[in-house]
């Protein structure tokens, strides 16, 4: 299992509706008015999307605070990750991180250099001495599955190395809106995104993984170069139409931020009190948990028996079978998850022989 969200494969093992803690989607779902807006936009299906996506770029430019010329659009941000990988000679990733960085590198037959994050799951600046000209360094910010965000000064330092070496930095910021603090799009505006791209998407924060709308900000020269590679009409008309709505719903955006922060703290502090687990601090809508007294399979089966699907993490290079990842959901489901953590903890403490 290399991706979360595959509930279909498990439905036979539980008599009832499964709750998906394995993929990390805004628990409030998509903005409430979106459906009515899409209904009004159905007729857009009758025509090809605007091949230049002028309106969508206008909407994104307002939302992100960048020039339209800096924007690139993808069928999910994975299409943009793929496009950037195809343009460079070697790809550097730090592990653990999103599976597709490595997968798409292999598809393109590019060289891969895989380094480990340090023990705090941060980039060690010393490791960047390995960066060479024409390398593509991909960093999740916040990173999946750790949930950690690069600190502002460290990000500056990483960027300086990348520029000095004439390499390229790809920041995958799919979870950006769940964070607090700096905005990298503002941070690097002065540099005109030279040797840099910042990817975001409607997938996680706007609760729209099915929509397939990814976007990125980079130098206008790089944007034109990438657009020369991407497929025409790569964004569905309804995704194009959704852009007229979701980025303007300020109330939803603020409410989602606050809600996820509160529920993340609720879950996190609940797990923290249990002996059998170590929970990592996260700036995203998910938590990485280290299992101190069982492996991921035992944990997975326990949660499955409660109708909960969690994410096993040994498929992430750099993590072993002692890690799981859980999404932050609504209070009712988070309580169910916490109860399952508690009952697993109880069981593990009573039957140490089961290890």
Which tokens hold the place of 121?
């799951």
Tell me: cis bond preceding 280? Omega within 30 of 0 counts. Answer: no
Task: Compare residues 123 and 222 and give the one whose CB is closer to a second copy.
Answer: 222
Q: Per-residue string for binding with a second copy, 195-224, x by CB under 8 A?
A: ------------xxxxxx------------
Interacting residue with a second copy among 233, 259, 280, 347 (CB under 8 A): 233
- Nearer to a second copy by Cβ, of 184 and 237: the residue is 237
- Residues 85-144 touching a second copy, rule: CB under 8 A, are 100, 107
Cβ 275 vs Cβ 352: under 8 Å:
no
- Residue owning tokens 């009190």: 273
CB 292 → a second copy: shortest distance, Å? 31
Q: Minimum distance between the CB of residue 201 and a second copy, rounded to whole angstroms? A: 11
CA distance 266 to 341: 13
Please identify which residue in 195, 237, 256, 333 interacts with a second copy, judged by CB under 8 A: 237
For a second copy, the binding residue among 231, 305, 320, 331 (CB under 8 A) is 231
The correct pick among 170, 238, 271, 313 for binding a second copy (CB under 8 A) is 238
**189 vs 69: CA distance, rounded Å:** 13
Q: By CB under 8 A, tell whether 244 contacts a second copy.
A: no
- Closest to a second copy by CB, 7 vs 187, is 7
Of 99 and 347, nearer to a second copy (C-beta) is: 99
CB of 345 to a second copy, least distance (A): 29
Complex with a second copy: residue 169 or 226, whichever CB lies closer? 226
Which of 18, 20, 31, 137 touches a second copy by CB under 8 A? 20
CB of 93 to a second copy, least distance (A): 17
Residue 265 CB, nearest distance to a second copy (Å)?
A: 24
CB of 246 to a second copy, least distance (A): 11
The closest alpha carbon to 280, from 120, 115, 95, 117, belongs to 120
For the chain, what is the HEC assignment?
CCCCCCHHHHHHHCCCCCEECCCCCCCCCCCCCHHHHHHHCHHHHHCCCCCCCHHHHHHHHHHHCCCHHHEEEECCHHHHHHHHHHHCCEEEEEECCCHHHHHHHHHCCCEEEEEECCCCCCCCHHHHHHCCCCEEEEEECCCCCCCCCCCHHHHHHHHHHHHHCCCEEEEECCCHHHCCCCCHHHHCCCCCCCCEEEEEECCCCCCCCCCCCEEEEECHHHHHHHHCCCCCCCCCHHHHHHCCCHHHCHHHHHHHHHHHHHHHHHHHHHHHCCCCEEECCCCCCEEEEEECCCCHHHHHHHHHHCCEECEECCCCCCCCCCEEEEECCCHHHHHHHHHHHHHHHHHHHHCHHHC
Question: Considering CB under 8 A, how many residues would be counted as binding a second copy?
Answer: 48
- Options 51-59, 267-275, 311-319, 347-355: segment touching a second copy (CB under 8 A): 51-59
Q: For the window 52-91, what string marks contact with a second copy as x by the rule CB under 8 A? A: x-x--------------------xx-xx--x---------
Strand 135-140 relative to strand 111-116, pairing: unpaired
Stretch that binds a second copy, among 32-40, 127-135, 156-164, 295-303 (CB under 8 A): 32-40
Question: Which residue's CB is nearer to a second copy, number 107 or number 130?
Answer: 107
Q: Given the complex with a second copy, which of 52 and 186 has the nearer CB atom?
A: 52
Binding-site ranges for a second copy (CB under 8 A): 3, 5-8, 20, 23, 25, 29-30, 35, 38-39, 42, 44-52, 54, 75-76, 78-79, 82, 100, 107, 207-212, 228-229, 231-234, 236-240
């Amino acid at each position: 299992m290399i991706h979360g969200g595959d509930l279909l494969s498990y439905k036979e093992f539980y008599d009832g509706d499964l709750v998906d803690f394995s993929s990390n989607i805004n628990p409030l779902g998509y903005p409430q008015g979106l459906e009515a807006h899409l209904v009004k936009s159905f007729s857009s299906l009758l025509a090809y999307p605007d091949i230049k996506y002028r309106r969508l770029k206008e909407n994104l430019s307002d939302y992100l605070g960048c020039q339209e010329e800096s924007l690139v659009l993808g069928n999910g941000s994975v299409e943009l990750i793929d496009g950037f990988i195809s343009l460079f000679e070697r790809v550097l990733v730090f592990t653990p991180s999103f599976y597709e960085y490595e997968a798409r590198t292999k598809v393109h037959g590019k060289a891969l250099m895989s380094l480990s994050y340090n023990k705090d799951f941060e980039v060690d600046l010393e490791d960047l001495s390995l960066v060479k000209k024409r390398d593509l360094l991909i960093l999740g910010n916040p990173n999946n599955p750790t949930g950690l965000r690069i600190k502002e000064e460290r990000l500056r330092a990483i960027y300086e190395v990348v520029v000095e070496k004439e390499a390229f930095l790809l920041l995958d910021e799919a979870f950006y809106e769940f964070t607090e603090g700096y905005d990298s799009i503002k941070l690097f505006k002065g540099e005109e995104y030279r040797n840099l791209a910042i990817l975001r998407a409607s997938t996680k924060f706007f609760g729209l993984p099915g929509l397939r709308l990814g976007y990125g900000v980079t130098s206008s020269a790089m944007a034109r170069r990438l657009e020369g590679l991407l497929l025409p009409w790569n964004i569905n008309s309804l995704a194009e139409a959704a852009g007229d709505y979701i980025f303007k719903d300020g109330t939803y955006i603020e409410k989602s931020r606050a809600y996820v922060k509160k529920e993340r703290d609720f879950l996190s502090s609940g797990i923290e009190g249990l002996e059998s687990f170590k929970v990592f601090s996260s700036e995203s809508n998910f938590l990485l948990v280290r299992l101190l007294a069982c492996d991921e399979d035992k944990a997975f089966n326990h949660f499955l028996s409660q109708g909960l699907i969690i994410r096993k993490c040994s498929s992430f290079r750099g993590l072993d079978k002692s890690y799981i990842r859980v999404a932050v959901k609504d209070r009712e489901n988070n309580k169910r998850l916490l109860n399952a953590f508690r009952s697993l903890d109880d069981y593990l403490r009573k039957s140490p022989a089961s290890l």
